[in-house]
């Protein structure tokens, strides 16, 4: 039986050698500029070139020159990204239920998030895409940025290794992971409180801002939560979300004690 893996890697090596030969000096400088700006290292520029080439660019020029695009790379990049984020969430938030983890992950791998990550890295200035895509407007551009970011993850993985791409993803997603987790966790406390108050009092919780203190850039919110006229709890924080989160948390503890 033939060694499929050996044949694959041999073919892949020839494949990327061909791309490297097709790269103009101008394009090589552009790719190096991107790597310098982002402080990212690539051993094989052909991988980066493929990740930054949208299928629309290749299709518009296929008659003149056989160009390769990133569509297949999206597949592996999407799966690597999802797996690494899922693993990080699993270990970072041991108290979160599966549904909560899924909500956070969905937010982090959404088109909005991934296209923003691509913008943050300045990928938009280096992507090759067809003229027809420009006419389709912002939605098409967001889609291209999303696809390119996923392809870039694949290229970075192939060029380096799994641990390298894992460090890259955690570095660029960690702050957003924590912010999203806090937001989803807050919503969970509030939704749990609403479920209990509807069942017990046939009412939804009402959050009142009692007062605010401090300057606009560091304003503190003092909030109370009620079920009808029944006072449940108070909370304060440097955002309404934080204060409501604490209110809901305290109210849940109080109502659970009343049941006991």
Does pTM top 0.75 for this prediction? no
Model confidence band, residue 23 (pLDDT cutoffs 50, 70, 90)? confident
Quick check: 2 pLDDT over 60?
no
Q: Cα separation of 8 and 20, whole Å?
A: 18
Is 212:220 a contact under the CB 8 Å cutoff? yes
What pLDDT is attached to residue 110?
Answer: 93
Mean pLDDT of 39-47: 91
Quick check: 175 pLDDT over 70?
yes
Q: Please say if 33 is a catalytic residue.
A: no
Give the tens place of pLDDT for each residue, 58-111: 777 765 555 678 888 999 999 999 999 999 999 988 877 788 889 889 999 999
Q: Cα separation of 215 and 225, whole Å?
A: 24
- Check residues 93 and 114 and name the one with the higher pLDDT: 114
Q: Where in the chain is the domain with CATH 1.10.1520.10?
A: 4-160
Catalytic residue among 74, 150, 159, 244: 150
Q: Cα separation of 254 and 197, whole Å?
A: 12
Catalytic residue among 74, 78, 147, 244: 78
What is the percent of the chain where pLDDT is above 90? 48
Strand bridging mode 220-227 / 206-213: antiparallel
Mean pLDDT of 125-154: 81
Is 81:105 a contact under the CB 8 Å cutoff? no
Mean pLDDT of 109-132: 90
Q: In this structure, which CATH number among 1.10.1520.10, 3.30.70.980, 3.30.70.2740, 3.30.499.10 belongs to the domain 4-160?
A: 1.10.1520.10
Q: Please say if 150 is a catalytic residue.
A: yes
Quick check: 141 pLDDT over 60?
yes
Quick check: 260 pLDDT over 50?
no
Mean pLDDT of 150-174: 94
Mean pLDDT of 175-195: 81
Range from 3-7, 32-36, 127-131, 170-174 carrying the lowest mean pLDDT:
3-7
User: What 3-state class would DSSP assign to 54?
Assistant: coil
What pLDDT is attached to residue 7?
Answer: 65
Please give the mean pLDDT across all residues of the chain.
86
Yes or no: domain 202-259 corresponds to CATH 3.30.160.20: yes
């Amino acid at each position: 039986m033939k060694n499929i893996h050996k044949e694959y890697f041999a073919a892949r090596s020839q494949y990327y050698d061909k791309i490297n030969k097709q790269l103009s000096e101008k394009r090589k400088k552009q790719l190096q500029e991107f790597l310098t700006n982002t402080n990212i290292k690539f051993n094989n520029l052909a991988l980066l070139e493929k990740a930054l080439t949208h299928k629309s660019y290749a299709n518009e020029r296929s008659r003149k020159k056989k160009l390769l695009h990133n569509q297949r790379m999206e597949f592996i990049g999407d799966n690597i990204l999802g797996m690494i984020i899922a693993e990080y969430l699993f270990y970072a938030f041991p108290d979160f239920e599966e549904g909560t983890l899924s909500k956070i992950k969905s937010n982090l791998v959404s088109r909005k998030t991934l296209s923003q990550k691509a913008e943050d890295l300045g990928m938009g200035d280096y992507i090759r895409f067809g003229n027809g895509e420009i006419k389709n407007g912002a939605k098409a551009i967001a889609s291209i940025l999303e696809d390119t970011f996923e392809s870039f993850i694949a290229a970075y993985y192939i060029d380096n290794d799994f641990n390298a791409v894992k460090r890259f993803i955690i570095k660029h997603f960690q702050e957003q992971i924590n912010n999203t987790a806090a937001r989803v966790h807050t919503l969970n406390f509030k939704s749990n409180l609403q479920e209990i108050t509807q069942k017990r009092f046939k009412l939804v919780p009402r959050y009142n801002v009692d007062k605010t203190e401090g300057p606009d850039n560091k304003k503190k919110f003092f909030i109370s939560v009620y079920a009808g006229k029944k006072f449940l709890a108070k909370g304060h924080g440097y955002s309404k979300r934080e204060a409501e989160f604490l209110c809901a948390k305290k109210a849940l503890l109080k109502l659970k004690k009343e049941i006991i």
